[in-house]
Every structure is written in structure tokens, then in C-alpha cells.
Amino acid sequence: MVSLDDAVIARLKKGEHHFEILVDPYGAADIIEGKDTDVLKIMAIDAIFTDAKKGIHVSEEDLQEEFETADVSTVAEYIIKHGDIQLTTEQRHKMQKNKRKRVIEYIVKNAMDPQTKTPHPPARIERAIEEAGVHIDPFKPVSEQVKSTVNAIRPFIPLSLERVKITVKIPAKFIGKAYGVARTFGVLEQEDWQSDGSWVGVVRLPAGVQNEFYDKLNEATKGNVSTKVLK
């Protein structure tokens, strides 16, 4: 349970009835994102109201009529996913800022400049979002907002969500440490063991992790690694 001071009203009109719950807005956002969250733990009161401020409860008959169940957690989750959540200005600003950061992080990691085949830095993505006037919804999942955000900022910066393929050659003496790096950073599309004991593979990975990928490979091989981005 959350305190009443931290809770906001989530409301839904269904049929002829009005339903409200008192819920933590950040926990509600997690549920909308699809995270495994116990609905009852993010509610201030485990009850469904017709008017939460006045404390007027919905009858079980009305719940059964509209939801075919009187189970509070089931109905509350439905209200969160399909209703409106009333945020204060401060809460909305904070949640939009956090969601915006996550959208930027996703784009940085998964997109690249198609001309240079390198990732854009976060500051450049953020600046393009501001120039494009992109609205970030604090409750829509990041995955749903990335595509529209990318489409909106493309007129301002060259951007592609295509992944890159990189050939990697690791000398035999460094395979023990470096092979795991090659496999965990992306999808290993092909590999071949050379007659001298070295390993050659083709790894497909998000453009935004290229530099980190190279850093980890160089660290594991003490700089004795060959890489090449495939066209």
C-alpha cells in the first residue's frame, strides 16, 4: 500500500458507471509498461470507488456488470491500463523527464548515423527532440514512443534504427576472455576457427553500443583484436 498523500486518482467511465481508484502514479506507469507489479501494493486503499474523494464505493453488482468480476486487483489493473490518471503538474513533469531520458537512452543504444555508421551522442538526440517539439507521454511504454520520436527527429539529424554487422578476429591466446564479449554484445551470425587457433566471427549489434563493444574487446585482448564494420 502507498500513503494517501502520494496517491492520485485513476478514473474510468465504462457503460453507465464511473470507477475510481487511489494509486501511486509511478507504480501505475510500471503496470502500463508491462512490468510485473502487484496492483494492490501500489493502491492507497484496496477498493473501487464511484467517487474516491467522498469515499463512495462501487457496488459489487456494478463491478460484475461491467467487468464480470468483483476482484479489486483485476478491476484496478483494467482502470490503470484503460482509464485516465490524474497527475499534479510536478508529478507529470518528473515522469515526463524520466520517460524522456529512457527514450533517449534507447535511441542512443539502438540507432546510428547512417552516413558515418556511428551512434549519436545523447545530447544531440535530446537537442533534436527539443527542436522537433516531441511530446513524451509519461504513461506510454518507451517501445511505443521510440518510433514516433525517431520519425519526428529525422528531419533534424540523420538517423537509422538498423543494426550494424562487425567482423571480429581474436588471436588464439585471447579467446578465453574475448569470445564471451563477442557473444554477449549482440547476435553472433557466423563464426569460424582458423588453422592458427584464432577466431573470426560476425556480430550484429545495436549501433549505439559499438564503442563500448570495441573498448571491451580491446580490454580483453590488450588491443590485439581486428574489427571491421560490414557495409
Q: Is residue 54 scored above 90 in pLDDT?
A: yes
Q: What is the mean pLDDT of residues 182-192?
A: 91
Q: Identify which of 102, 172, 178 has the alpha carbon closest to the alpha carbon of residue 137.
A: 102
User: Which tens digit of pLDDT belongs to each residue from 125-154?
Assistant: 999 999 999 999 999 989 889 989 999 999
Give dist(CA 161, CA 143) in Å, integer: 13
- Predicted local distance difference test score (pLDDT) of residue 119: 81
The full set of domains in the chain, from first to last, is: 4-85 (3.30.1250.10), 89-153 (1.10.10.900), 164-229 (3.30.70.240)
Q: What is the pTM of this model?
A: 0.67
Beta strands in the chain (DSSP E): 8-14, 17-23, 49-51, 56-57, 84-85, 164-170, 187-193, 199-205, 226-229
Q: Is residue 224 scored above 90 in pLDDT?
A: yes
Q: What is the mean pLDDT of residues 22-42?
A: 93
- Predicted local distance difference test score (pLDDT) of residue 207: 75
Neighbour-count burial of 213, counting CB atoms closer than 10 A to its CB (0-12 exposed, 13-18 middle, 19+ buried): buried
Neighbour-count burial of 102, counting CB atoms closer than 10 A to its CB (0-12 exposed, 13-18 middle, 19+ buried): middle
Backbone phi, psi, residue 134, to 5°: -70, 130
Highest mean pLDDT among 1-10, 18-27, 106-115: 18-27
Q: What is the mean pLDDT of the chain?
A: 92
Of 3-12, 157-166, 221-230, the poorest mean pLDDT is in: 157-166
